[in-house]
Structure 1
């Protein structure tokens, strides 16, 4: 970042400053071009180039050597190298998506195999809005087709929260209603959807950080973007923990007393989640205090669960039960801390009022 100092000049009744010549050249501006000038809530001024190209492109080179006439060991080594290369390519695609690139081009000197093409397509389905717009044997062209100005970060966060609410309710209630064969698959599938929404939210935030005009259109300050990024990360972590919790609870469903206590603990967590998100999105002091009250209740219930680890003889002598109990308590505790951490994001806001 280059800093320029300018002296205010007055011509008639207008106060003028000159713009840096390097910036003018970089943006290909000249006499007669329009600029947008915006006053910000922090008493600063932003100047936008209306002619700036919004499409950001990047290209990745991808290719594999011909493996004909190679020994068995060479072929095995080649397969391992190929797997590593395509993983690196996928990481680059995900990185470019999160950094806000609108067009991602993949070029290969050799023909892209059907298997590699399908691997790329399957991976990019996790990235909302990124679609293949052109493809041939040597190239794959991906484009982000959603207008970022139409996206609403609060709605994306709300969608993530709604999916997690359903996941957790179904997981806890399965202790009494019985575990369906496909419950774990359903929860894992919803966790994947949370990841997709999380990637989209991160992309929008990073794009807005680099494009102040977009940030203005989304009505987001820098601190807003930071808070939403952190809150979304806690939600994504909670989704992962719920997907992990399902496996442990399936081992404890036969222990009625413990199952009842876990359900009671789960109900307390449901309230914490509800009030934590409301406290964050509406910066409500009352909702934040409600989360803290629920957390005290939650800690008491967790303490009761911990007592069963040493007092229940069947759990003490049965590794399956004891491991499931310890892991379940750990997951529940981590989920609770996610809601506490989201609530903490609201505290600086309402304390300043």
Structure 2
């Protein structure tokens, strides 16, 4: 970022400043063109190029003869080499999507095999709004077809929160019966959907950071974008933790004593999640207090569960049971930290006594 200093000049009743010549050339502006000047809530102004091109394109070569690939060829067989190249391309596509590119093309000097084409297309289904608009034997072109100006990051965050709430509630309630493989598959599928929503939210935020005009349209300040980006990351982490928690809790038929304690912990976490998101969206101190109250209950129940393990009060609890239960406790504790950290974005909890 280059910083320019300008002296205010007055002509008649108007105060004028000159625009940097470098910015004028980069945006291909000249005398007679129109720019948009907007005042912001933080007492700054933003100047936009009204003729700014909306579509940002990028092309990736599937089989570039780079030095990195030559090194790969020396240490991998053909199958491993192909897998490595596809992973590199997928990382580039995901990166371009998150950076706000509207059109992404994968090009190859040789014909793209059916297998590689399907791998790329299957992986990109995780990216909401990115659709194939052109495909032939040598290239696949994707385009982001959603108008970013119509998106609402608060609603996206709300969808992530709703999915996570359902995942966690079903996981805890399943302690009353048997965990089924169907439930585990459902939780994994919902975790994938959270990832899709998370990628979309990150894309919108990063695009808005680069395009102040979009940020203004979405009514987002720099602080808003930062906070929503962090909050979404905590939600995505919570989703991963719940998917991990299911794998631990589904291994055994837990004794009633353990099930009862975990359910009590789960109810505290449900309340924490509800009030944490409410506190974040509304920046409510009262809701933040509710999170802390439930966190105190959570800590007491966790401590009781740990005490039972340490004192071997639970019958038939062998070493494998203990390790699985400790891992489950770790997941629950980390989920609680996600809700505390989201509350911190609204009202720092260390100031709440």
TM bucket normalised to smaller: over 0.9
Q: Residues 288 and 343 of structure 2 are in contact (CA less than 8 Å); yes or no, is this contact kept in structure 1?
A: yes
| Distance (whole Å) between structure 2 residues aligned to residue 5 and residue 251 of structure 1 | 65
| Distance (whole Å) between structure 2 residues aligned to residue 341 and residue 40 of structure 1 | 28
State the partner residue of 2:69: none
Tell me how far 1:187 sits from its aligned partner: 0.2
| Distance (whole Å) between structure 1 residues aligned to residue 345 and residue 17 of structure 2 | 39
Q: Residues 149 and 217 of structure 1 are in contact (CA less than 8 Å); yes or no, is this contact kept in structure 2?
A: yes
Q: Which secondary structure does the structure 1 equivalent of 2:347 belong to?
A: helix
State the partner residue of 2:270: 270
1:12-23 → structure 2 map (5 Å cutoff): 12-23=12-23
Flag the 1:75–1:14 CA change in 2: closer, same or farther, 3 A.
closer
| Distance (whole Å) between structure 1 residues aligned to residue 151 and residue 328 of structure 2 | 37
State the partner residue of 2:340: 340
Q: Which secondary structure does the structure 1 equivalent of 2:181 belong to?
A: coil
Deviates more, 1:222-231 or 1:18-27: 18-27
| Distance (whole Å) between structure 2 residues aligned to residue 311 and residue 348 of structure 1 | 36
Residues 1:238 and 2:232 are matched in the alignment: no
Q: Which secondary structure does the structure 1 equivalent of 2:77 belong to?
A: helix
Q: TM-score, normalised by structure 2?
A: 0.93
Flag the 1:38–1:76 CA change in 2: closer, same or farther, 3 A.
closer
Flag the 1:348–1:215 CA change in 2: closer, same or farther, 3 A.
farther
State the partner residue of 1:280: 280
Q: Deviations over 1:44-101 (max 9, x none)?
A: 1111011010111111001289xxxxxxx99970111111011011000000001111
| Distance (whole Å) between structure 2 residues aligned to residue 64 and residue 212 of structure 1 | 35
Q: Residues 257 and 314 of structure 2 are in contact (CA less than 8 Å); yes or no, is this contact kept in structure 1?
A: no
Tell me how far 1:113 sits from its aligned partner: 0.2
Deviates more, 1:32-41 or 1:155-164: 32-41
Tell me how far 1:143 sits from its aligned partner: 0.6
Tell me how far 1:10 sits from its aligned partner: 2.1
Flag the 1:36–1:258 CA change in 2: closer, same or farther, 3 A.
same
1:249-328 → structure 2 map (5 Å cutoff): 249-312=249-312, 318-328=318-328
Deviates more, 1:136-145 or 1:174-183: 174-183
Q: Deviations over 1:148-189 (max 9, x none)?
A: 111101100000000000000000000114323311000000
Structure 2 gaps of 5+ residues are: 66-72
Q: How many residues are paired up?
A: 343
Q: Which secondary structure does the structure 1 equivalent of 2:36 belong to?
A: strand
Flag the 1:317–1:348 CA change in 2: closer, same or farther, 3 A.
closer
| Distance (whole Å) between structure 1 residues aligned to residue 74 and residue 265 of structure 2 | 56
1:1-353 → structure 2 map (5 Å cutoff): 1-63=1-63, 77-312=77-312, 318-347=318-347
Deviates more, 1:1-10 or 1:100-109: 1-10
State the partner residue of 1:70: none
> What value does the CA root-mean-square deviation take over the aligned residues?
2.0
| Distance (whole Å) between structure 1 residues aligned to residue 143 and residue 157 of structure 2 | 24
Q: Deviations over 1:195-232 (max 9, x none)?
A: 00001111111111111111111111111111111110
Structure 1 gaps of 5+ residues are: 66-72
Q: Which secondary structure does the structure 2 equivalent of 1:182 belong to?
A: helix
Q: TM-score, normalised by structure 1?
A: 0.93
| Distance (whole Å) between structure 2 residues aligned to residue 257 and residue 23 of structure 1 | 68
Q: Residues 291 and 343 of structure 2 are in contact (CA less than 8 Å); yes or no, is this contact kept in structure 1?
A: yes
Q: Residues 288 and 343 of structure 1 are in contact (CA less than 8 Å); yes or no, is this contact kept in structure 2?
A: yes
Q: Residues 36 and 47 of structure 1 are in contact (CA less than 8 Å); yes or no, is this contact kept in structure 2?
A: yes
Q: Residues 24 and 30 of structure 1 are in contact (CA less than 8 Å); yes or no, is this contact kept in structure 2?
A: yes
Q: Residues 278 and 287 of structure 1 are in contact (CA less than 8 Å); yes or no, is this contact kept in structure 2?
A: yes
State the partner residue of 1:69: none
Flag the 1:153–1:196 CA change in 2: closer, same or farther, 3 A.
same
